[in-house]
Amino acid sequence: MIAKDLINDTVIALRPSDIGSDALGLMDELRVSHLPVVNELEYIGLISDSDIYNRGEFEQAVWDGKITLIKPYIYENQHFYDAMLIISEQKLSLLPVLNVKNHYMGVITLTGLVQKLSAIASLINPGGIIVLEINQKDYLLTEIAGIVESNDAKILSLYITSHPDSTKLELTIKVNRVDIGAILQTFYRYNYTVKASWSKEDSFSDGLQDRFDSLMNYLNI
């Protein structure tokens, strides 16, 4: 999945001559806290609601050529993980997308990224979740996948959490079986450390769906 596939067509870019109060109204309508300022196809920068409130000039143009706007962006052919990194590091509600000619194409929203991530991670699909703790040097994906598949299951998603001050990795694995008892026993036999696991379809999946819905409602406020 690359950046251009996640462009949100409902987000309208601001023109430099648009006034602050109109920009705030559009942000409120779109439920974002940033908007791109674009002059035809030229991406000038990103303005936030805080920028406008701090200026206190609500009837003035959002950009008059005298002020400097932050200018985060991503190219259309970059992976959406790059967009996640930029949005997270710079605490953005959206990220502009440019083509190879540096022309503005549109934006990726934080809400859209979360929705895509949930689909890729198979968060709301029925199944069990296993969290393993292993040493970095002992990480063998083929062995882990083999253990899961030897118990008539498949890995739906897997992600790794590492810490800079540790040699250990934490693996969170989503499998397509609710009954994961046999998988856990096999991991134990292979001397894996199982930090946590969830396997009840009703209580876990419903609870996860509720948490995801709550997150999406929060992002839309």
Residue with tokens 């674009």: 38
Alpha helices of the chain — where are they, by DSSP H? 20-30, 49-55, 80-90, 110-120, 141-149, 181-189, 206-219
What lies within 8 Å, CB to CB, of 221 at 6+ separation is 31
Identify whether residues 84 and 7 lie together within a single domain: yes
Strand 74-75 vs strand 94-98: parallel, antiparallel, or unpaired? Answer: parallel
- Domain of 109, CATH number, reads 3.10.580.10
Task: Note the pLDDT of residue 204.
Answer: 46
Structural tokens at position 37: 């300022």
Asked if the model's pLDDT at residue 221 lies above 50, the reply is: no
User: Residue range 65-86: average pLDDT?
Assistant: 90
- Domain of 130, CATH number, reads 3.30.2130.10
Q: Is residue 149 part of a domain?
A: yes
Identify whether residues 11 and 112 lie together within a single domain: yes
pLDDT tens-place string over residues 45-64 = 999 999 999 988 899 999 98
Which band of pLDDT confidence, cut at 50, 70 and 90, is reported for residue 202? very low
Q: How many whole angstroms separate alpha carbon 9 and alpha carbon 214? A: 24
**Of the residues 76, 99, 117, which one is the last residue of a structural domain?**
117
Domain that holds residue 136: 121-202
pTM of structure: 0.65
Buried residues in 133-171 as b, exposed as e (16+ CB within 10 A): ebeeeeeeeeebeebbeebebebbbbeeeeeeeeeebbb
Please give the radius of gyration of the chain, using alpha carbons only, rounded to the nearest integer.
22
End-to-end CA distance of the chain: 27
**Of the residues 117, 134, 161, which one is the last residue of a structural domain?**
117
Asked if the model's pLDDT at residue 87 lies above 60, the reply is: yes
Q: Is residue 218 part of a domain?
A: no
Identify whether residues 74 and 137 lie together within a single domain: no
